[in-house]
Structure 1
C-alpha cells in the first residue's frame, strides 16, 4: 500500500541549487514553518513568499521569515523559482499551482501541503507546461493555531510527510520532493493519492468531525465550568479554521462519509453494550481502545 522512506535525511541540493529559489504560496502556519525550516537548514536558498495580501506578506518579510514578498497574481518574478510549495486551503490549491507555475523556471517542481490528495493531484497537474511537474504531498504536522506568527522551524521534525506520486510523475521530481521534506526533518512515506485520502479520512478528518460534534453539544456555555481536561483534550482540534475544514470535508466527501459510517457502527456497539449493561463487552472495547492508544504513544517515543 505505501512505502516508508524515513532513513536518510536526503540531499535536496542534488536538485535545488545551493543558491536556489524556493517559492511558498500561502505564508501561514505551514508555509511560514517551511520558510523558517529553510532558513535553519538551507541558508543559501532565497525564499519568496506569495499570496494575495500584500500587507501580511510584507510583515512576514520584515520579520525575516521570507526574503521577497510577491503577489501571486502579479507579473512573473525574476529570478524564477526552482521549487515551489503551495500551502493554501485545499479548495484553492489546484488554482494556485497553475498560478505559481508562471513564476517557476522550466523544469521546476511544485508540491503542496494539502490534507486531501486525489482531487488536487488530478486537477493540479493537467495544465502545466514547460516541463514543470506537480507532485502532491501532505506533512502531518500543524496546530489549531493559524498564521505565520505561530510558525516554527522544528514543526516537521520527526513528523510524517506523505508524498503521493502518480503515474505521470518522473522519478527525479518525486525524489526532489521527498528529499526536500527529509531535509526539513520529516520522515517520508509514499502512497497513492487515493490511499492517502482513505487513511487520512480515518486518522485526521474523522477526529475533526467528532471533536466538532462533541464541542457543539455545549455551545450555549452552560456547562463550560464542568468541561475538564478530558473534554478539552478531546475537542482541541475543533478550534481549527471552519472554512478550511469545510473544504477538506467536501473534497474528501466519499472517504469521510465512509469513516463516519465505521465510527457510527463503533458507537452503536458501545451504546448497545451500555444499554444491556454488558460489563464484559464494555470492558473489552475499552481495553482494546486503551491498547491502541498506548501503541500510538509508544511509536511517538
Structure 2
C-alpha cells in the first residue's frame, strides 16, 4: 500500500513536478494532485506524468490530501499555508521545499491560524536538489536520489508528523538530515547561496565582447547564474544576515589570496588551491 493516499503539490514546476514523478514511480502515493494558477501548465504537467490530476481551485486540490507539499517561491509559502490550514482535513501534514527556513518556520509556528488547528501539522523541509532550469518540462523522477533533504523541526513540531515527512523524502531517494532552521540557513548560505552570488557576479563581470572566448570552465562555474532572478531575490532577501556573513568570510579568503599572489608568496595561494581541490574531490561528480 502507498504511504499516502493523496498528495497535493502547490506549484508543479521543476521541484513539484519531480516530487510527483518520484512519488508515483516509487509508489509513495495513490493520487497526486497538482495545484497551480495556469490550467494549461497543469494540463501539460499531467500529460508528462508529474501529477494524476490538476486544478486551479486550491480548496478542491487539498481536499482529502494526507500530505501537502508547498513548492512556491519562499515569500509565498507562509501566506499559502495560513490560507490552507482552516480547510485541511484532520491529520493533514504540510511541508514545503523552501530554500530558507528560519522566517518560514518561526512565522508559521507563531501564527494564530496554525495554532488554532491542533490536528494539522507543519514540518519545514528543503530538498537540496534542483537546476538552473525551471518548469515541469525539466522534472525528472530521480531528481532527489542520493541528494540531501534537510528537515527543520523545532520544539513545537509534532514528532509523528516529523517522522512522516522524513520518511516521505527518504522514499523519494533522499538522504535526510535534521537540523534547526537557523543551522539550515547558516549552512546553505555558504554551500548554496554564496555560490550562486559568486557565479552570477563572475558572469556579470565578463564583457559581452569576450563571451565568445568562454569555454567549459566558465560555463561550469557560472551555470547556476542562469537561475530565475526573482526566485533568487526572495532567497537572498530572506537569508540576508547569513549571506552577508558568508560574503564577509569569502572576502577575507579572496583578500588573502590576492595579497599572497601580489607578494609572490606562491606557497600560500597554492595551499588555497590545494584546499579547494581537496574539498571538490571529496564531493566528487
Instruction: Specify the TM-score bucket, using the shorter chain as the normaliser.
Output: over 0.9
Alignment of 1:1-301 (within 5 A): 13=3, 16=4, 20-42=5-27, 45-72=30-57, 74-77=58-61, 79-125=63-109, 126=111, 127-128=113-114, 129=117, 131-218=119-206, 220-297=207-284
- For 2:218 and 2:61, locate their aligned partners in 1 and report how far apart those are by CA, in whole Å: 49
How far apart are residue 253 of structure 1 and its match?
0.3
Structure 1 residue 102 displacement after superposition: 4.7
When residues 78 and 248 of structure 1 are mapped into structure 2, their CA distance, relative to the original with a 3 A threshold, is closer
Query: In structure 2, how many angstroms separate the alpha carbons of the residues matched to 1:22 and 1:296?
Result: 33
TM-score of the aligned structures, taking structure 1 as reference length: 0.89
Q: Could you report, residue by residue, the CA deviation over 1:227-267 in whole angstroms, capped at 9, with x for unpaired residues?
A: 12111111110000000001000000000000000000010
Residue equivalent to 1:8: none
1:81-126 CA-to-partner distances (Å, cap 9, x unmatched) read 1101000101111112223335531121100111000001112342
Give the 4+ runs in structure 1 shifted more than 3 A. 74-79
* 5+ long unaligned stretches in structure 1: 1-10
- Residues 245-290 of structure 1: CA deviation (Å, up to 9, x unaligned): 0100000000000000000001000110111111111211111221
Cα contact 1:38–1:184 (8 A) shared by 2? yes
Distance 1:183 1:41 in 2: 7
Residue 125 of structure 2 aligns to a residue in which SS? strand
Whether the 8 Å contact between 2:153 and 2:178 is mirrored in structure 1 is: yes
Structure number with the bigger relative contact order (C-alpha 8 A, sep ≥ 6) is 1
Structure 2: 5+ residue stretches without partners:
none
Scaled by the length of structure 2, the TM-score of the pair is: 0.94
CA distance 1:203–1:87, shift in 2 (3 Å): same
Preserved contact between residue 84 and residue 100 of structure 1 (Cα < 8 Å) = no
Q: Distance in 2 between matches of 1:28 and 1:232?
A: 24
Higher helix share: 2
